[in-house]
Amino acid sequence: MAKFKKILVPLDGSANSNRGLDRAIEIAKESGAEITGFYVFHLPLVAGLKYTKKMHDEAQKKAVKAIGPAMKKVQKAGATFKYKTGGGHTGKEIVNAAEKGKFDMIVIGARGMGAAKETFMGSTSNYVMHKSKVPVLVVK
């Protein structure tokens, strides 16, 4: 297996992102890599809609709910954990964070949607896989 030093793991608190985290932990334990959990805040898409304090507080709660358990799980496994947050289009934020942070790989959990549903809704893992210059491992 290749030697990895920095692994980026997008987290949203779902079972799918936890599967990605579990695989990242396995890789980190084998290679001594540091895991960075990454949570993306969903910002308002409507032009002119203000990002209110209430929206910010709700987003913070969701981030803590996603990152806190992940941090405990990684530390319990004996790996190093850091975290980052971003805001905006989830896929773009993940790709940008991976490239700017000089990560060796992205490990992302996939929802496992059917092809028809994915065609209409899109897929963050699909976006990341096709746009990232950093290697991507998609975990189903």
Which of 63-77, 95-109, 119-133 has the weakest average pLDDT? 119-133
Q: For residue 22, which of 88, 83, 69 has the smallest C-alpha distance? A: 69
Q: What is the pLDDT of residue 45?
A: 61
Q: What is the pLDDT of residue 120?
A: 44
HEC assignment per residue over 95-128: HHHHHHCCCCEEEEECCCCCHHHHHHHCCHHHHH
Give the contacts of 43 (CB within 8 A, at least 6 positions apart). Answer: 51, 87, 88
Residue 73 reports pLDDT greater than 70: yes
User: What is the average pLDDT score of the chain?
Assistant: 88
Q: 62, 40 in Cβ contact below 8 A?
A: no
How do residues 13-55 score in pLDDT, each as one tens digit? Answer: 999 999 999 999 999 999 999 999 999 987 766 556 677 888 8
Task: Tell me the C-alpha distance between 90 and 14, whole Å.
Answer: 15
Domains of the chain with bracketed CATH: 6-139 (3.40.50.620)
Mean pLDDT, rounded, for 82-111: 95
Task: Tell me the C-alpha distance between 51 and 49, whole Å.
Answer: 7
Q: 108, 124 in Cβ contact below 8 A?
A: yes
